[in-house]
Amino acid sequence: MSNMRNLTINAERLWDELMETGAIGGTPKGGICRLTLTDLDREVRDWFKQRAEALGCTVTVDDMGVMFARRPGQRDDLPPIAMGSHLDTQPTGGKFDGVLGVLAALEALRTLVEAGYETYAPIEVVNWTNEEGSRFAPALIASGVFAGVFERDWAWTQKDRAGMAFGAALDTIGYLGAERCGAHPLSAFFELHIEQGPLLEAESREVGIVTGVQGVRWFEVTVRGQEAHTGATPMNLRKNALLGAARLIERIDAIALAHAPLAVGTVGLVEVRPNSRNVVPGEVFFTIDFRHPDTDVLDAMEQAFGKALPEICDQLGLTASADKIWENPPVQFDPDCVAAVRKAATASGFSHRDIVSGAAHDAAYVSRVAPSAMVFVPCLGGISHNEAEFSSKEQCAAGAQVLLQAVLDYDRLLAERG
Ligand SMILES: [Zn+2]
């Protein structure tokens, strides 16, 4: 058996496979259009299955189309340590979002096979179905069913714009598996992903140790005043809903800034009624998107807005209502898994920093049912969901190396615990 410190992934091979699979749904601008459960998705799934089987893995598929490529361990009765991400993309997606996490996991597993390294627990590479949510809503649907957040039967009935149901699409491409989604215990799950933000690049760090995923709260607000003639209505007699909305938007910015640097607050959609140049606005609808890694801070932000709403509206003779329409709690990844990633980055000699993910990921749902953590690598300009998305060969390789070392570190932890 070789020493785990000698195990090094093959950067060229990983890069070649990123480029090879990038041609499946490849776009003229260098991106990928590979929507979930299409013929192109089937093609990349077939490719993945064939490569995994060539490494001696057994590939199983569950009834949400999630693929598990398994390499046995010494203790084959233990749930596997899994690593992976997703092979589907946005319609104008890049070559790295999701794909890197699956192919790096495959490369890590191949490194173990070639070294003849026998792990304590079985190791699996996972491809989660429909992470992107572009063809079928919601996003992260398979990891959501896996974690018990969504019902499988409900997921199967979700339709694309052409009216095709998710379950039927799964069957059509031949990836409706027999195993019940979620009936597949994992000892742990590790996901490598591009950052999709600018922090690692800005600080010239090679690796991000992802400690969690921030929580999200969405609100819809309606401010009501009175429509009136702009020429004939004196300023002191107006009930201008847009003025109220403007002051509220400024307050939302201040609320987020009060919890800097981690809090963000955004009003991204505003509708003014009647939206006419010579009518004092009678009604304004707008949305709020608050995000922070801690529930306590999200509570404080929500309360601050709840206080500002009547305060600002009363002064202007307006009424208002606000509804919380969606809430996704923050995720703190498992301390042992995070420690394994940090140790792996340090041992591999990569510069790193802790980071909280701004975007949702399959690992966030999986963390509800198995200890999980993530590894981030930088992407050019922090750009993703874009054909111009780019991470270099070296950056991809650094992520794959940390992924491998983290899995081996966690495997050793399991062995120590017996
Ligand atoms: Zn992704």
Compute the distance between CA of residue 145 and CA of residue 98 in angstroms, rounded to an integer: 19
| Whether residue 194 is found in the same domain as residue 238 | no
* Residue 105 alpha carbon to ligand 1 centre in Å: 14
Give residue 325's pLDDT.
86
* Residue 187 alpha carbon to ligand 1 centre in Å: 22
Domain count, the chain: 2
* Residue 227 alpha carbon to ligand 1 centre in Å: 45
* Residue 82 alpha carbon to ligand 1 centre in Å: 17
Give residue 2's pLDDT.
44
* Residue 131 alpha carbon to ligand 1 centre in Å: 7
Query: What are the tokens at 129?
Result: 């179905």
The CATH number given to whatever domain includes residue 401 is 3.40.630.10
* Residue 262 alpha carbon to ligand 1 centre in Å: 22
* Residue 98 alpha carbon to ligand 1 centre in Å: 4
CA distances from residue 267 to 169, 196, 256, 290, 385 in whole angstroms, order as listed: 36, 21, 11, 9, 21
- Domain end position, chosen among 280, 312, 328: 328
* Residue 22 alpha carbon to ligand 1 centre in Å: 15
For the chain, residues with pLDDT lower than 50 are 1-3
CB contact at 8 A, 215 and 301: no
* Residue 135 alpha carbon to ligand 1 centre in Å: 14
| Whether residue 64 is found in the same domain as residue 166 | yes
| Whether residue 189 is found in the same domain as residue 114 | yes
- Domain end position, chosen among 312, 328, 344: 328
Amino acid 233 reads T
* Residue 128 alpha carbon to ligand 1 centre in Å: 10
| Whether residue 275 is found in the same domain as residue 168 | no
Give residue 5's pLDDT.
55
* Residue 127 alpha carbon to ligand 1 centre in Å: 11
| Whether residue 367 is found in the same domain as residue 299 | no
Give residue 326's pLDDT.
84
Give residue 418's pLDDT.
86
* Residue 157 alpha carbon to ligand 1 centre in Å: 23
56: left (phi over 0), alpha (psi -120 to 50) or beta: left
Tens of pLDDT, residue by residue over 354-382, are 999 998 999 999 999 999 999 999 999 99
CB contact at 8 A, 148 and 39: no
* Residue 89 alpha carbon to ligand 1 centre in Å: 8
| Whether residue 361 is found in the same domain as residue 282 | no
| 162 phi, psi to nearest 5 deg | -85, 0
Give residue 315's pLDDT.
98
Q: Which residue has the tokens 């992934």?
A: 9
Mention every residue, 6+ apart, whose C-beta is less than 8 A from residue 251: 305, 308, 312
| Whether residue 150 is found in the same domain as residue 248 | no
| Whether residue 358 is found in the same domain as residue 273 | no
- Domain end position, chosen among 270, 299, 328: 328
* Residue 96 alpha carbon to ligand 1 centre in Å: 8
Range of the domain at 110: 4-213+331-417
Tell me the CB-side half-sphere exposure of residue 37, using CA atoms within 13 A: 31
* Residue 189 alpha carbon to ligand 1 centre in Å: 15
| Whether residue 158 is found in the same domain as residue 298 | no
| Whether residue 279 is found in the same domain as residue 263 | yes
